[in-house]
Amino acid sequence: MANDKMMAQVSDKQGFFAALDQSGGSTPGALKLYGIPESAYSDEAGMFKLIHEMRVRIMTAPAFTGDKIIGAILFEATMDGQAEGKAVPSYLWEERGVVPFLKVDKGLEAEADGVQLMKPIPGLDTLLERAVKLGIFGTKMRSVIHQNSAQGIAAIAKQQFALGAQIGAHGLIPILEPEVSIKSPDKAGAEATLRAELLKGLDALPETGRVMLKLTIPDVADFYQPLIDHPRVVRVVALSGGYSRTEACERLATNHGMIASFSRALINELKVSMSDSEFDAALAEAVDEIYQASVAKV
């Protein structure tokens, strides 16, 4: 079964995850970095058409294969789109050997108790049913921790695990992403509080329960080793969180068992004005650097 092969790849393969899941809120910034100003489109449909073209250019580049990229996290519109005449999830798995995941959250609530919970996700079960039919293997959902708030971080973990259970009921592997802001005044303290809450949530999962975790690279190297070693955890991946690619890779290389799931650090140097050879070379350089930080630890 494809699902068994995907699970083996996600669990054991050396490499990293590519996050191609900029949402409506972050897409204008991603396009601007790519060299496309807001004046180039007049509505949301035009904006998403342009970002889809950028993502297809990335996914079809020679370096974007399962040799170094384990999986790719997609925005819903990307999941519904096509690459080289195929549905994107099928194209990624069948043509590139990359496992497709789907971002399912609908953005963040306003900050309260030092954190931003996820907004409600109406129609989640319907979306998950559609994702399964399209060949999606798992999902991702992000919330953000700004302060070392015991009450806020407990609420973040509770929401993540509750939605994870709903997602797991559809046979999908959820990636829980409780991001600790790199600007948090007590980042290390917030990470300690989060680790304790995540361990409680993991211990409470049923024996068959499986999740992935996507976490900010911790201030203390190997701080998340107890999560990496937990029997309910398929994989722990790292977000770049606003660090430059160089700094994110340097930090990641000191964390054994933690691999990248970068977005900005993967694509920030790609420009629409590049020739195909320039674009492919720039992406290959980013892929190689992130791969090395994921597999060659110090």
Catalytic residue among 13, 68, 103, 177: 177
> Does some domain include residue 1?
no
Domain that holds residue 144: 15-295
The pLDDT score that the predictor gives to residue 27 is 85
Instruction: Give the number of domains in the chain.
Output: 1
What's the Rg (C-alpha) of the chain? Answer: 18
Annotated active-site residue 214? The verdict is yes
Q: Do residues 248 and 216 lie in contact, with contact meaning Cβ atoms separated by under 8 Å?
A: no
> Does some domain include residue 2?
no
Closest CA to 158 of 113, 221, 99, 96: 113
- 61-103 residue pLDDT tens: 999 999 999 999 999 999 999 999 999 999 999 999 999 999 9
Instruction: For residue 168, report the phi and psi dihedrals to the nearest 5 degrees.
Output: -60, -30
The pLDDT score that the predictor gives to residue 22 is 73
Q: Give the separation between CA 238 and CA 289, rounded to whole angstroms.
A: 15
> Does some domain include residue 6?
no
Catalytic residue among 68, 103, 140, 214: 214
The pLDDT score that the predictor gives to residue 26 is 78
Q: Give the separation between CA 290 and CA 19, rounded to whole angstroms.
A: 12
> Does some domain include residue 8?
no
Q: Do residues 228 and 215 lie in contact, with contact meaning Cβ atoms separated by under 8 Å?
A: no
The pLDDT score that the predictor gives to residue 2 is 65
Q: Give the separation between CA 250 and CA 248, rounded to whole angstroms.
A: 6
Q: Give the separation between CA 141 and CA 175, rounded to whole angstroms.
A: 7
Count CB atoms within 10 A of the CB of residue 220. 11
- 201-232 residue pLDDT tens: 999 999 999 999 999 999 999 999 999 999 99
> Does some domain include residue 5?
no
What is the reported pTM?
A: 0.96
* pLDDT category of residue 24 using cuts at 50, 70 and 90: low
The pLDDT score that the predictor gives to residue 212 is 98
> Does some domain include residue 3?
no
| Amino acid of residue 125 | D
> Does some domain include residue 151?
yes
> Does some domain include residue 7?
no
Q: The domain spanning residue 41 has which CATH number?
A: 3.20.20.70
